[in-house]
Chains A and B, each alone.
Chain A
Amino acid sequence: AQTVTQSQPEMSVQEAETVTLSCTYDTSESNYYLFWYKQPPSRQMILVIRQEAYKQQNATENRFSVNFQKAAKSFSLKISDSQLGDTAMYFCAFMKRSPNYGGATNKLIFGTGTLLAVQP
């Protein structure tokens, strides 16, 4: 079974600074996706960034980037130039890669989350 571990329950960062959220996972699968989701205080969870395991290049989305270390099963999220709007709960998630038509569920396996507070 797959597991996702986020060892930092809470973190704090000053506005405009850089912060890194850690995530490790355990799986025997070779094809999978990794995600970071963000849940602001308004509670709707949104996708921040996605990484396909077969791609060696780390994904980036504007100020958000990941450090994907497949051998170490590590998937950290770096937020550059932190903004007040980045204050949220961040969830790391794993999904086995398989098509719908194969009868697969493609469910997400989540970590426990990291609450990030950006201070002015």
Chain B
Amino acid sequence: EAGVTQFPSHSVIEKGQTVTLRCDPISGHDNLYWYRRVMGKEIKFLLHFVKESKQDESGMPNNRFLAERTGGTYSTLKVQPAELEDSGVYFCASSQLWEAGNTEAFFGQGTRLTVV
């Protein structure tokens, strides 16, 4: 079974440019999460999808960030325009719905974004 995959693995862009990160969750996982780790700090929650709907986007830093989840499958996170402080590693995670008590979230390898 394929795990959570993220593209690209690394992106270097100039300040002011646009970048789109993609996450393909594990098939059948309705929950999809985006997290971000800024260098040396904790991993912080950005937002949560249940299928195609945004359940919680309280962690999104500002309106330069836009997340979508087409048809409840893959998700994209677009940063436009990118600022220096957006640099970090962006993680995607997916999990099953939790009625059965399954709490494990599976993570992708992350996208390292560097804004110069």
Contact = CB atoms under 8 A, between A and B. Distances in A.
A47 B45 CA distance: 17
B100 to A, nearest CB: 10
Nearest to B4: A44
Given A103-B55, A106-B103, A43 B40 contact: no
Contact of B110 (A43, A50, A103, A106): A43
Interface string A69-102: 0000000000000000000000100010001110
Nearest to B46: A107
B42 interface: yes
Contact of A95 (B3, B30, B103, B110): B103
A101 B91 contact: no
Nearest to A105: B56
B48 A105 contact: yes
Nearest to A110: B43
Interface of A: 4, 33, 37, 42-47, 50, 91, 95, 99-101, 103, 105-113
